[in-house]
Amino acid sequence: MTAHALHIATYNMHKGLSPLNTRLRLPDIARSLKTLSADVVFLQEVQGRHSAHAQRFANWPAESQHHYLARQLQAKATYGLNCTYEHGHHGNAILSRIPVAQWCNRDISVNRFECRGVLHCDLTPPGWAMPLTALCVHLNLLARDRKKQFLALRDYINHAVPAGNALILAGDFNDWRAQANQLLASELGLIEVFHSLHGAHARSYPARLPLLTLDRIYVRGVRVQRAEVHHGAPWAQLSDHLPLTATLLPEH
Q: What is the pLDDT of residues 138-195, one digit of tens each?
A: 999 999 999 999 999 999 999 999 999 999 999 999 998 888 998 899 999 999 999 9
Question: Which percentage of the chain shows pLDDT scores above 70?
Answer: 100
Nearest residue to 196 (alpha-carbon basis) of 173, 176, 220: 220
The SS3 call for residue 129 is coil
- Regarding pTM above 0.75, the answer is yes
What are the pLDDT digits (tens) for 23-56? 999 999 999 999 999 999 999 999 999 999 999 9
Would you tell me the crossing angle of helices 143-160 and 180-188 to the nearest 10 degrees?
20
* Residue-range domains of the chain with CATH: 6-250 (3.60.10.10)
Strand-by-strand arrangement of the 166-172 sheet: 100-107, 117-123, 132-138, 166-172, 215-220, 191-192
H helices present in the chain, as ranges: 26-36, 51-56, 65-73, 143-160, 180-188, 193-198
The Cα 91–Cα 102 span in angstroms is 18
Average pLDDT along the chain:
96
The Cα 131–Cα 11 span in angstroms is 23
> In this structure, are residues 136 and 170 in contact, taking their beta carbons and an 8 Å threshold?
yes
